[in-house]
Amino acid sequence: MLERKSVQDKKFIYGQFFTPIDICNSIVAQIDFQDYLVIEPSFGTGNFIKALKKIKNKKIGIELDNELFSASLCDENTELYNMDFYDFMPKTNKKLLFIGNPPFRTPAYSLTTHKHCINKLTKEYDVLGCREEAVFFILHTIDIFRRNNTTGEIHYIIPTSLLKNNSKYFDRFKKFLKEQCFFKNIISIQGSEFDNVTQDLVYLSLIVKPESTQETSLFALANQEQTTVIIDGKVCNLNEYLCLENNEVIPFQKIFKKTFLGSVPCESLLMSVQGESIHQFKNRLCKIISNNNIDIETLYKLLQYNNKFHLKIFDEPFESELVQKKLQVILSYVKNIQLKPDIISEFENLNNYKPIQVRDGTRFYFRCAKLKKNKNFVYELNPNPCKSFYFTGNPSHSSTDYFGYCEYDCNRNVSPGANRTVPIDGIEDNLTENFKKWWKKNTSEPLSNVFEYLIYISRTQWYKDMKKNNKRFYFAIPKKFIPLELRKI
């Protein structure tokens, strides 16, 4: 059962952001409903169901939250079910049309309630590595088509970043979408049109390809490689929009064999507070980790030293949504750590508390190789902090990005945050063979100059444009090498 302390928690856990009725009406007005069986898989307050009232097709609506579920929206054409979409598997020979705004949230709530089902879906469709609820919702949607050997359409509002994220896992998801569907239309929606949504959204309409290529009317669709798509009324290159197969760039994963990643919530647990001694920090952290019944309030108290927190976000009131969200994430880390009893004793060992010089003095950062081995612990912290190069991990069109050198694996803002780090010593062994070939073909500069080259790229107009054009841009450099003599900003 969902444990929750406030409405804010529930909104976040269930991914509850409701589509304004005028957007629902305008989407419904654009669709040719033919004789589709129409399914709204997570209808929330029911604006899509209301917008569909005039459509006489048979309709099914599903909503998990029993406090939102309202049977009053039923009519002679509409059946509503208060259930989990992942438990919904109709048997039908009708063509299907899915419409709605699936929950979005990372990590997905379904990973706690329907892990088996999600594992099965991600394995079957080879979309491993993503942890986003909207991705799983789309997988389950397509699975319903496949299990019924039917076709139809999907009309979902989703975060733009789902289609733009150029990490290898999301690339796989986007390729899966291209394999399974024809992209009919994409229309941008400002997140600000929704309450409490800051990220940009799109209305995505897809035609699900037939599995069997024998169906003549859709035969061509199933076989063709789609190259263009209509985005906001204009014909655009689909791969370019999806940031797929960009032969113009070398992504950071193809430069380095191994990088490390910190995280703000992780740091807020494992990093001491300003002024706190190593012993005080060790005692405080041990109190957190040894408390198997720890709840949000206790965690909130124990994250403080001298009424101060490491993270600025905790200057906000305890009840605020931001603070509650962050505490939930930190609590999930604590619970993950507690699953591995052999790690717990490591918190008693002072050698695992590494001093880190920051602007306001020395802090201590708990590091331990066993933490890395705990597969439940999602972050790839460097267990042996060392002189490192840091580069921005997840630049968005508006992010402030950091590139530089640090004594350990923290940048000058203390936070490894969303920064990735690479140990400086032994860099030659950590560069991929292909990258080394590319570098040597283009320059006689030593491989250790790679870091300076990355810093140079980060200051170019090319990098600024890449950030602007991609909502989520995982760091990459242009494939066309820029010789030393031309490197001027």
Sites of contact with ligand SAM (CB under 6 A): 14-19, 42-45, 47-48, 62-65, 68, 84-86, 100-101, 103, 110
| Closest CB 303 distance from ligand SAM, rounded Å | 29
| Closest CB 67 distance from ligand SAM, rounded Å | 9
Number of residues written out for the chain: 489
Query: Which CB, 65 or 200, lies closer to ligand SAM?
Result: 65
Query: Which CB, 154 or 271, lies closer to ligand SAM?
Result: 154
| Closest CB 489 distance from ligand SAM, rounded Å | 43
Question: CB count, 10 Å around CB of 72?
Answer: 7
| Closest CB 151 distance from ligand SAM, rounded Å | 23
| Closest CB 187 distance from ligand SAM, rounded Å | 15
Query: Which CB, 110 or 259, lies closer to ligand SAM?
Result: 110
Query: Which CB, 156 or 365, lies closer to ligand SAM?
Result: 156
CA–CA gap between residue 329 and residue 321 (Å, rounded): 12
| Closest CB 399 distance from ligand SAM, rounded Å | 24
Provide the pairing of β-strand 37-40 with 96-100. Answer: parallel
Query: Which CB, 104 or 347, lies closer to ligand SAM?
Result: 104
| Closest CB 335 distance from ligand SAM, rounded Å | 21
Contact indicator for 213, 237 with CB cutoff of 8 Å: no
| Closest CB 481 distance from ligand SAM, rounded Å | 44
CA terminus-to-terminus distance, the chain: 56
Query: Which CB, 48 or 377, lies closer to ligand SAM?
Result: 48
Query: Which CB, 19 or 166, lies closer to ligand SAM?
Result: 19
Single-letter amino acid code for the residue at 226 = Q
| Closest CB 163 distance from ligand SAM, rounded Å | 17
Cis amide bond preceding 90, omega within 30: no
Query: Which CB, 101 or 239, lies closer to ligand SAM?
Result: 101
Query: Which CB, 67 or 76, lies closer to ligand SAM?
Result: 67
